[in-house]
């Protein structure tokens, strides 16, 4: 193939690229769902900690003890 010739793209190549694209979309969707679940869990944990109020015996607390 000369440098001036364009590469030949076959139907099988296109189908393979579409298949790879679908796999990547699925992976991104799963990662996004995992991230959303993680953020929700962190938010819920912080919310519960604030509802409980300060606790000097709790290792982790985002509440300020006055």
State the DSSP H helix or E strand holding residue 45, giving kind and residue range, or none if neither.
helix 11-52
* Annotated domain spans of the chain: 25-50
For 54-63, the pLDDT digits (tens) are 666 666 655 5
DSSP state of 53: -
**For residues 7 and 1, is the Cβ–Cβ distance under 8 A?**
yes
Whole-model pTM over 0.85 = no
For 16-61, the pLDDT digits (tens) are 999 999 999 999 999 999 999 998 888 877 777 666 666 666 666 5
pLDDT for residue 54: 64
């Amino acid at each position: 193939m000369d440098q001036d010739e364009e590469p030949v793209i076959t139907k099988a190549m296109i189908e393979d690229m579409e298949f790879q694209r679908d796999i990547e979309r699925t992976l991104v969707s799963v990662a996004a769902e995992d991230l959303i679940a993680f953020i929700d869990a962190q938010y819920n944990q912080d919310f519960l900690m604030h509802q409980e109020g300060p606790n000097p015996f709790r290792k982790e607390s985002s509440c300020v003890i006055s």
